[in-house]
Amino acid sequence: MKPARILTVAGSDSGGGAGIEADIKTIERLGGYAMAAVTAVTAQNTLGVQGIWALPPEAIEEQINSCRMDIGIDAAKCGMLGGPQAVEAAAAGLGAQMGLRLVVDPVMRAKGGDRLLAPEAEEALRRLILPLATLVTPNLPEAEALVGHRVETAQERERAAREIVDMGAGAALIKGGHGQGEEIEDLLFDGERFYRFTSRRIVTRHTHGTGCTLSAAIATGLGEGMELRSAVRRGIAFVQAAIRLAPGLGGGHGPLDHHAGQVPWQEE
């Protein structure tokens, strides 16, 4: 049986904890075949982002087209885009495949606070990318930026999820990791019903790339034909395992363990 063909459209993280690198590790660990359209190259580690170099918009679109026209794409994940021209290029490439199962992680800032989406690109993201999305996965600050109001209480999160779907997305997952308390509640709105996923908060500094990992995991599930709620549930469980087993690398926000406990391959 051929693996699900999953495309990630995102920036490269030289430290390997987020972006394209985290996505590829996640997709392959969950049994998919990973492809990539790189939007930007970053000099980045657990301490922060030291530099960002955007790729030309035509390079982004052509990478997507190359994958689509030959290998094919069962599902895709869209992460860091950077500027408005990159948003337009990604929308053109992703929009060329009708019925694409697309998970959009609206990456705006890195874990350390560095801006990864230009302010002028936010409107292009709402207008061009969200209507293509099967699912949008903002954390609380990203949800606030998308809808333009505070997103803290349960009622505010439900309102934000509805508003994101009203922007054209098929569904919205409001991630609760930036909230308070010993438990994290992720809220899924599929356009008709709300579903809540509760998990124990793991107190650790090793959370770099959690959003990238979750969106890539969900996209892999959708590419395999999983129902949305099941893909979200498995994605959250995978991220929890990857946080719990984090290797403890770096002096800042450390990376996850994308092997999730898997024993490395050994020659027999």
212 included as an active-site residue: yes
Which two tokens mark 20? 């394209």
11 included as an active-site residue: no
221 included as an active-site residue: no
Q: What are phi and psi of 130, to 5 degrees?
A: -60, -40
- Active-site hit among 210, 213, 235, 254: 210
Which two tokens mark 193? 């019903």
Q: Provide CB contacts within 8 A for 19, sequence distance 6+.
A: 10, 11, 12, 13, 42, 44, 79, 80, 209, 212
Query: Comparing C-alpha atoms, which of 236, 100, 122 is closest to residue 170?
Result: 100
- Active-site hit among 137, 207, 213, 220: 207
Phi-psi region of 104 (alpha: psi -120 to 50; beta: other; left: phi over 0): beta
- Active-site hit among 175, 176, 221, 254: 175
Q: What are phi and psi of 196, to 5 degrees?
A: -115, 135
- Active-site hit among 212, 220, 221, 235: 212
- Active-site hit among 16, 179, 209, 254: 209
Query: Comparing C-alpha atoms, which of 58, 33, 43, 57 is closest to residue 12?
Result: 43
211 included as an active-site residue: yes
CA angle (73 as vertex; 69, 96 as ends), nearest 5? 60
210 included as an active-site residue: yes
Place of tokens 């709300």: 194
Under DSSP, is residue 53 helix (H, G, I), strand (E, B) or coil?
Answer: strand
Exposure string for 229-249, b = 16+ CB within 10 A, e = fewer: eebbbbbbebbbebbebbeeb
- Active-site hit among 15, 211, 221, 235: 211
Give the residue numbers marked as catalytic: 175, 207, 209-212
